Every structure is written in structure tokens, then in C-alpha cells.
Structure 1
Amino acid sequence: MERTLSSDLFQANTQTTQTSAPLRFFANLMLWQRRIASRHQLARLDARLLADAGISEAQRCEELSKPFWR
């Protein structure tokens, strides 16, 4: 599941002291928005498309049950 919905590429580098708090906050908002959008898309997939993507129904349910901040 992680390979299809991974957001590692979009995570803000929170350990950099040069990054201001407002920029980190904005980056988190953008990350959350992408997670919400990708989960909406995942919810709309039918069984055939899930199988094509290699995602089981259990994996989909697990991903859809997560809050947007996780």
C-alpha cells in the first residue's frame, strides 16, 4: 500500500532549523490535502482497478480509516 500512496516525497524537512514555522505549517497543510485527495480517489476505485494496482480490499479499508494527518 505504501508504494501506491506514499507521501514521503512531499514531507517537509522539519529538522532544518532554517525553515520557518509558517512554511512548515503550509507544507503540512499541502501534505494533508494530498492525502485527502488520494484517499478520495482510492475510495472510488472498483474491484478490478484495485486488483490492477495490487491493492486488497483490506488494505484499502485500512488506508481509508486513517485520519488525514497520518
Structure 2
Amino acid sequence: MTQVALHHPCPPRRRFGLKTLLDAVSLYRQRGTLARLDARALEDIGITREQAEAEASRKIWDAPEFWQR
């Protein structure tokens, strides 16, 4: 068996490609679901209709900061 040791680890790649596309589709669906919640469901999660509509109307590339690591 052969082993290879890297003395200089490769830098991490920028996140792009299929994973980014899947994240964008997921975010789109989540925001659509949020827009369709009724008043009781919004109260359960602790946000107002205005907050839900503001979040749902954000653009796909306007993702939460924790996605942009």
C-alpha cells in the first residue's frame, strides 16, 4: 500500500457548484413556505407578518451570513 503525505495542504475551494445550487433552491422553498404561513403559525415561531414578508421577498443571493463561511 502506498501512502502520500502532503507537506502543504491544499487551500479549501470556494463553495460553488451543485452544493451552492441546492442551497439556493432550499432557501427559495423555505422563503416560499414562510410567506404562506398563517397568523397562528407565525405567532408560534415569534415573528410578525411584516417580518415574514420581508424575509420572503429577499433575493436568492441574499442568504444568511452563516451560509457565507
Is the TM-score greater than 0.5? yes
* Structure 2, unaligned runs of 5 or more: 1-9, 63-69
TM-score, normalization: structure 1?
A: 0.63
Indicate yes or no: 2:57 matched with 1:65.
yes
TM-score, with length taken from structure 2: 0.64
Indicate which of 25, 30, 38 corresponds to 1:38: 30
Point out the structure with the larger helix share: 1
Identity of aligned residues (%): 32
Deviation at residue 39 of structure 1 after TM alignment: 0.8
1:17 shift after superposition: 3.0
User: Could you tell me which residue of structure 2 aligns to residue 17 of structure 1?
Assistant: 11
CA root-mean-square deviation:
2.0
Give unmatched runs, 5+ long, in structure 1.
1-15
CA distance in 2 between counterparts of 1:40 and 1:65 reads 9
- Give 1:67 deviation, angstroms: 0.7
